[in-house]
């Protein structure tokens, strides 16, 4: 069965998921995660992709990112990141063969409510996995940057995040960003994000998806 055509558009954020081959471990040590984030920083600069949120889990990772101009920048970023990190990982752990599944998952993300649901989906991953009680307790995600103001060179705030308030601390509080994490995402939202990402569909309102279809190649 042929794979569905991946749809990527300039200036439209996309949720990206890449899993370890056979769900194998991708990050054994702190040095692995640090190397991956260094490579992410290099790739997002090279391919002009803004990364808004991320999380590194044991056997997979998530990104929320927007291509600035060329939508293929996202594909180039994922290809470069996957190849370069796999080369590092295989050398570091004296292994051979593929590290990641052959194809990453992607999902275009719609209006503000949907965008912030995706932020939460990504940064709450360690909580849902039972690794920490609160996303602020997890080191390998963008939550400290987005919610607490920690400096993270890999994170570029989305325009809707910036538009919520002029002052950065007000923005983190007033846009209820931290408060969004006081409760888990509804099960229906979790399932919709998962399904749309697996299928390569868009996550947004029906009206937004209809407008989007007019922009698709």
Domain map (residue ranges) of the chain: 14-199
pTM reported for the whole predicted model:
0.92
Q: What is the DSSP string of 135-179?
A: GGG-SSBSHHHHHH----TTB---HHHHTT-SSHHHHHHHTTHHH
More confident residue, 143 or 216: 143
Q: Checking DSSP bridges between strand 14-19 and strand 60-67, what pairing results, if any?
A: antiparallel
96 Cβ neighbours under 8 A, 6+ residues apart:
90
> pLDDT, tens digit, for every residue of 167-206?
666 656 645 788 889 889 999 999 999 999 999 999 999 9
> pLDDT, tens digit, for every residue of 139-151?
999 999 999 889 9
- CATH second-level architecture of 14-199? 2-Layer Sandwich (3.30)
What is the average pLDDT value for the chain, to the nearest integer?
Answer: 91
- What's the pLDDT at 180? 86
131 Cβ neighbours under 8 A, 6+ residues apart:
138
């Amino acid at each position: 069965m042929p794979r569905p055509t991946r749809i990527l558009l300039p200036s439209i954020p996309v949720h990206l998921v890449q899993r370890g081959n056979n769900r194998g471990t991708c990050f054994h040590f702190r040095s692995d995660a640090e190397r991956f984030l260094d490579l992410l920083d290099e790739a997002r600069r090279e391919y002009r992709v803004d990364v808004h949120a991320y999380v590194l889990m044991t056997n997979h990772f998530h990104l929320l990112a927007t291509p600035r101009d060329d939508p293929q920048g996202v594909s180039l970023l994922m290809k470069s990141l996957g190849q370069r990190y796999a080369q590092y990982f295989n050398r570091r752990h004296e292994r051979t063969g593929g590290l990641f599944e052959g194809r990453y998952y992607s999902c275009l993300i719609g209006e503000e409510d949907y965008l912030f649901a995706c932020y939460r989906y990504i940064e709450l991953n360690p909580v849902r996995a039972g690794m920490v009680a609160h996303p602020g307790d997890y080191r390998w995600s963008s939550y400290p940057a987005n919610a607490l103001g920690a400096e993270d060179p890999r994170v570029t705030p989305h325009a809707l995040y910036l538009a919520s308030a002029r002052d950065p601390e007000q923005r983190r509080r007033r846009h209820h960003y931290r408060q969004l994490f006081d409760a888990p995402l509804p099960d229906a939202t979790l399932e919709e994000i998962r399904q749309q990402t697996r299928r390569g569909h868009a996550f947004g309102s029906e009206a937004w998806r209809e407008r989007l279809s007019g922009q698709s190649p």
